[in-house]
């Protein structure tokens, strides 16, 4: 049976937002792309290309969008799905803007949730986490490795084959969200609660370790390949140590997740299950260049939001995190500022301060 096209709004015109918008459009959906005026370059480029995105790589084609612009009301009008695609710092501004135009009905998918995105979004809407009038969900990761390569052109290095995990607020709606995403993301799988998607996010394991141990190369004038050249056995040992702490937090909380290499194999990025050659030889990571500045989300977001939130959670459930703490301290040093003191993401900022582990799970698993 041929499926009914959906009206899909995508908030965020960065790499991931353009990938989501293009992929949904190539699957026949009516797609509207929004971003704030201060991030207008890509919006303008797509407009000048007759509202199309040219996609190469693991997703291919010319994707035509029905709206590209800065009017959020127009973008979300009659939407069935609203994808919120951006880094952690963008989630709340999108939510604040969406609050002015929201209506019951559309499902919101923060993609990826990275560090409590669904909680942040729903709190900013002024809603209780279990309020069913607006379902806010999140994915554990972005479904693509992708980069904008100029103008309206996007290259997708990999689209996930599996291992895209989805949780919702209220938690009982995750299955319905997965169904609504299935035509474009058939690999989406429901998780029980958003702490699983928060903890399953592997960026906090990979990016800080590789970046920290390649600081000199990042600050040099020469480019290098982030995974192929940046991941060595020593770097892998730091990733393994951080991942062991992450898995221990998940186990103590009662929110089971997979190890980073295990999920990388499932997703199709990697062919080996280890912390060094699995990444440096990974087909899904080939050709991805490293950042050229330390002021990059691999440190500012994945440490400043991610690892700090994980260590906050670790203290609640009684798990020691010496390696995460060391990474936070050293990254603070190389960036020249105290990331803990400046972090906008903690259990307290999520409205979950002073709770025990079981209370945290109850708070996100409540259903009306």
Q: In whole angstroms, give the CA distance from residue 11 to residue 93.
A: 11
Fold for the domain defined by 7-199: Rossmann fold (3.40.50)
Sequence length of the chain is 368
Tell me the per-residue pLDDT of 2-23, one tens digit each, with 9 for 90 and over. 668 999 999 999 999 999 999 9
Asked if pLDDT for residue 368 goes beyond 90, the answer is no
Tell me the per-residue pLDDT of 271-299, one tens digit each, with 9 for 90 and over. 999 999 999 999 999 999 999 999 999 99
Asked if pLDDT for residue 1 goes beyond 60, the answer is no
Tell me the per-residue pLDDT of 231-242, one tens digit each, with 9 for 90 and over. 999 999 999 999
The reported pLDDT for the residue numbered 346 is: 94
Q: In whole angstroms, give the CA distance from residue 200 to residue 218.
A: 27
Query: CATH 3.40.50.720 region(s) of the chain?
Result: 7-199
Q: In whole angstroms, give the CA distance from residue 348 to residue 195.
A: 15
Active site residues: 207, 302
Query: Residue range 298-323: average pLDDT?
Result: 97
The reported pLDDT for the residue numbered 114 is: 86
Asked if pLDDT for residue 355 goes beyond 80, the answer is yes
* CA atoms lying within 13 Å on the CB side of residue 290: 32
Q: In whole angstroms, give the CA distance from residue 241 to residue 324.
A: 8
Q: Note the CATH architecture for domain 202-346.
A: Orthogonal Bundle (1.10)
Count the neighbouring beta carbons within 10 Å of the beta carbon of residue 360: 21
The reported pLDDT for the residue numbered 367 is: 55
Q: In whole angstroms, give the CA distance from residue 65 to residue 283.
A: 30
The reported pLDDT for the residue numbered 4 is: 84
Query: CATH 1.10.1040.10 region(s) of the chain?
Result: 202-346
Query: Residue range 350-366: average pLDDT?
Result: 93
Q: In whole angstroms, give the CA distance from residue 163 to residue 165.
A: 6
Tell me the per-residue pLDDT of 182-224, one tens digit each, with 9 for 90 and over. 999 999 999 999 999 999 999 999 999 999 999 999 999 999 9
Mean pLDDT of the residues in the chain: 96
């Amino acid at each position: 049976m041929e499926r009914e096209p959906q009206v899909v709004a995508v908030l965020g015109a960065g790499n991931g937002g353009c990938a989501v918008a293009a992929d949904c459009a190539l699957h026949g959906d009516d797609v509207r792309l929004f971003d704030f005026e201060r991030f207008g370059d890509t919006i303008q480029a797509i407009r000048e290309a007759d509202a199309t995105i040219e996609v190469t790589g693991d997703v291919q084609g010319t994707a035509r969008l029905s709206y590209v612009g800065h009017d959020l009301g127009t973008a979300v009008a009659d939407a069935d799905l609203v994808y919120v695609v951006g880094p952690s710092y963008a989630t709340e501004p999108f939510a604040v803007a969406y609050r002015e135009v929201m209506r019951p009905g559309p499902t919101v998918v923060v993609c990826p949730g990275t560090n409590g995105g669904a909680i942040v979004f729903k709190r900013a809407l002024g809603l209780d986490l279990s309020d069913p009038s607006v379902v806010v969900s999140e994915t554990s990761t972005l479904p693509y490795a992708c980069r904008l390569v100029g103008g309206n052109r996007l290259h997708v290095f990999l689209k996930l084959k599996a291992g895209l995990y989805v949780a919702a607020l209220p938690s009982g709606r995750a299955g319905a969200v997965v169904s609504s995403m299935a035509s474009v993301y058939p690999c989406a799988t429901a998780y029980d609660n958003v702490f699983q998607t928060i903890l399953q996010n592997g960026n906090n394991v990979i990016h800080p370790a590789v970046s920290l141990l390649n600081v000199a190369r990042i600050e040099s004038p020469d480019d290098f390949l982030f995974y192929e050249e940046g991941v060595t056995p020593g770097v892998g040992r730091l990733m393994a140590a951080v991942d062991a702490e992450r898995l221990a937090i998940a186990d103590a909380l009662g929110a089971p997740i997979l190890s980073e290499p295990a999920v990388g194999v499932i997703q199709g990025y990697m062919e080996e299950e280890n912390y060094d050659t699995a990444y440096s030889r990974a087909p899904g990571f080939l050709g991805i260049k490293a950042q050229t500045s330390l002021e990059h989300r691999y440190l500012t977001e994945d440490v400043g939001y991610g690892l700090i939130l994980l260590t906050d959670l670790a203290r609640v459930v009684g798990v020691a995190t010496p390696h995460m703490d060391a990474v936070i301290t050293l990254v603070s040093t190389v960036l020249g500022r105290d990331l803990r003191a400046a972090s906008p993401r903690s259990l307290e900022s999520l409205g979950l301060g002073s709770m025990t582990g079981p209370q945290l799970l109850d708070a996100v698993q409540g259903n009306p």
